Amino acid sequence: MSNNANNASNPQANTPDVTDEIKASENTRMTSVDVPLEPDIEALLDIADEVEVTWVREQSQLAEVVDALATCGRVALDTEFIKRDTYYPRLALVQLNIGDHIYLLDAPQLQLAELWQALRDVDIAIWHACGEDLGIFYLLSGCPPLTNIFDTQIALSYLTGQLQMGYQQALDDQLDMHIDKEQSQSDWLQRPLSDEQEQYAIDDVRYLPALYLSLEYELKKQGLYNYVWADCQLYASDLYAAQHVEDEAMYLTMADYRYTSQQMAILKAVATWREELARATNQPRTFVIKKQAVREMVTEKPNSMRELAHKTTMHRSMLRLYGEELLKVIRDAKNLPPAEHPDCLLPPYRSKNKVLSKAVQQAIDDHARSIGVPASVLMRKKWLGQLYEVIAFDKDLSELPQGLKGWRNDWVLQTLIPVIEKHKTELQQGMGIRI
């Protein structure tokens, strides 16, 4: 496998090493945390309803925002953007709530370098479901991974076990507050925004500080705040890694352990070609070739325009424009010597014998219960699969996923790994390893 491919399979290899910084943050916050006074939700909602709102449309106005961020301690924020028909998202609006003031930044009219730096420096940046927002932040700012993120969606997963609770439901459940989300897919680049759009944008951050304070109190009361904080920083680092995957490594997001090494070579070539074309023409990857069509090219290995047309679901307009070029890409990949093929993926653990699975799940459930964390939050399916690989193939423990190197690490090393080692033969057989 090429160096780029190896880096993609370990995204941290493509990023600055933030593990030590995150661990330092964890260690600081994993000490006892004072439980704040229970927030007066009604009072917080009254403040939110009266907060002043300012549009920032001129570059000269940005200085006020940057100065406010320097002293606010924490900020709630959101973005509005459009990416339906482009490769690069078009940032339309940035909403900031510093507690007593909401700023709406007209992003297309502003140079935002100072804002990105100011957001890096605040103590706590509060988001809800920040995945796409942070992707845009990293794309436009050039900043390293943020280490001040508090994602209320992650926080809610600790309290509810629901991993992807939407903002509307979060406000309903936690604050008994209803907001309208009908404008989410509207044209955010139009000017002026409609009254409904503006209200939607304001509401997306109006109640975030109150939601944060409500969650902070409950998490600290239950002794969970530090776990949430650590997982938020891990998520911010993972998003940075995903934003910086090289073109030649994009194929791993579509790879299947059942593919042969030649099929992996075809997949890598087609996925790389697709990524480069999408970026060059500024259109979504799926506008070039949908994932299903890519998989069909890998399995069918078309040799002619006729086969490309009849054996794949590639859109006919793209077939006319790029069919011959794509056939050459496939042909060149098929003709690579085996030594230049990417590595095949390791097979996942599969077994009709559930002894290992039951033992592992019992260990997860027991620890989750002991610390008051939902089992689905304590151990993710992806992490467990990676842990199985480490044990089954006798890899070094340094290859554990980052999520199992933080506050979960002692439990993983002292309890979970011994459970898996006890059933190692079953594990290896379930992964097709000859022993």
- Chunked into runs of 10 residues, the chain (435 residues) has average pLDDT values of 38 43 46 80 95 98 98 97 93 97 98 97 98 95 96 98 96 94 87 96 97 98 98 97 93 96 98 97 96 98 97 96 97 98 94 92 98 97 96 96 97 98 96 85
Query: Which H/E stretch holds residue 431?
Result: none
**Do 92 and 195 sit in the same domain of this protein?**
yes
Predicted confidence at residue 181, as pLDDT, reads: 79
What CATH number is given to the structural domain containing 91? 3.30.420.10
State the residue range of the domain holding 423.
355-430
Q: How many domains does the chain contain in total? A: 3
What CATH number is given to the structural domain containing 293? 1.10.150.80
**Do 310 and 182 sit in the same domain of this protein?**
no
Mark which of 184, 217, 243 sits at the end of a domain: 243
Residue indicated by tokens 């011959």: 324
Decide if 80 is inside a domain: yes
Decide if 177 is inside a domain: yes
Decide if 3 is inside a domain: no
**Do 404 and 328 sit in the same domain of this protein?**
no
What is this structure's pTM?
Answer: 0.89
Predicted confidence at residue 32, as pLDDT, reads: 55
**Do 130 and 166 sit in the same domain of this protein?**
yes
Decide if 1 is inside a domain: no
Give which of 373, 384, 299 is closest to 334, Cα–Cα: 299
**Do 318 and 257 sit in the same domain of this protein?**
yes
Decide if 139 is inside a domain: yes
Both tokens of 53, joined, read 């709102």
Mark which of 220, 243, 266 sits at the end of a domain: 243
Q: Report CA Rg, the chain.
A: 24
**Do 239 and 260 sit in the same domain of this protein?**
no
Identify the sign of the CA torsion 309, 313, 318, 324. Answer: negative
**Do 215 and 291 sit in the same domain of this protein?**
no
Mark which of 223, 243, 263 sits at the end of a domain: 243
**Do 360 and 275 sit in the same domain of this protein?**
no
How many other CB atoms sit within 10 Å of the CB of residue 242? 16
**Do 34 and 155 sit in the same domain of this protein?**
yes
Name the DSSP letter for residue 222: T
Decide if 4 is inside a domain: no
Predicted confidence at residue 205, as pLDDT, reads: 98
**Do 299 and 229 sit in the same domain of this protein?**
no
- Residue 356 CA to residue 136 CA, distance in Å, equals 41
Measured in whole angstroms, the distance separating CA 201 from the mean position of its chain's CA atoms is 22
**Do 152 and 101 sit in the same domain of this protein?**
yes
Decide if 8 is inside a domain: no
Decide if 426 is inside a domain: yes
What CATH number is given to the structural domain containing 396? 1.10.150
**Do 137 and 210 sit in the same domain of this protein?**
yes
Q: Are 347 and 432 in contact (CB under 8 A)?
A: yes
